[in-house]
Structure 1
């Protein structure tokens, strides 16, 4: 599915759709070049889940955790840009963070990728002449929710 994102309102609308269908165990894998809008979309998803505070970029911390009541479900926001090998995701305890939580993963390919997981919603963000475009691929677990076919 391709979703045109001509402005911030369109990105926020996509984030709201994702947040409405997001469940514990899911992964939203955000790919795209530097400045493609991965963190902007992740922040909008976190806000759509109910968080009403600052959402720092996890670029340096690698992982930021959000727990209820700040959000409607436990959430891990990770930025794997600085990982040099997928084994480093294991070293930082990613599996422990993911227990009972949803994961927003920027630069997922640096952590070995998540597209093989049935609960993965893969989103590739591209810049276009009219803003941005999201190319969305839904894992099997997403197909019965909303309109992710």
Structure 2
């Protein structure tokens, strides 16, 4: 298994693209709550963002809105967690693909949980879409960006030839604690996401 040096560029063929400004972590939580109302069993959300971009806050808020059990934390050391629904809603499967590849993710057998769950895969862009929903399937791609960064559609951000950064400090950054502004870029793929959702 090899670590990705940075986010891969978004897949081609997006049906739409929406960008919103998130002033703080509360806005990030509101975005997650809004999306939770639109997601159901079988839905795939590919989540991208650097350290301190708000991925964990987003997923915690998504899980709370879906009403799942268990504490949702960054899946840094455990590649996949299943959070069971408390009621009639879908389970939430939370996956970290940063240090994995297609073969490593296949060993998690995510296909066996897809039908009953909303599946959120951090750093899964370019790795999980085809394997989980097929080339003609549907998924959402959400990229969370700190205000000092740019979407990976920019040439500099999509350049994967730079050296991989080894991260050893997984504590919250000052920006996470203070809740600095971020941008969310949401893209829809496939027939199920032919139109942008009203958020």
Taking structure 1 as the reference length, the TM-score comes to: 0.84
**Does residue 1:94 correspond to 2:144, yes or no?**
no
Q: Which has the higher helix share?
A: 1
Q: Is the Cα contact below 8 Å between 1:25 and 1:103 reproduced in 2? A: yes
Aligned positions of 1:41-120 closer than 5 A: 41-51=58-68, 53-69=70-86, 72-83=89-100, 85-109=101-125, 112-114=127-129, 118-120=137-139
Larger Rg: 2
Taking structure 2 as the reference length, the TM-score comes to: 0.65
Structure 2 unaligned regions, length at least 5: 1-17, 149-179
| Superposed CA offset, 1:70-124 (max 9, x none) | 68212211111121x22111122222232322101111137x1428564311111
Q: How many residues align?
A: 146
Q: Is the Cα contact below 8 Å between 1:7 and 1:131 reproduced in 2? A: yes
Structure 1 unaligned regions, length at least 5: none
Alignment partners' CA distance in 1, 2:95 and 2:75: 6
The 4+ residue runs of structure 1 with deviation greater than 4 A are none
RMSD, aligned CA: 2.3
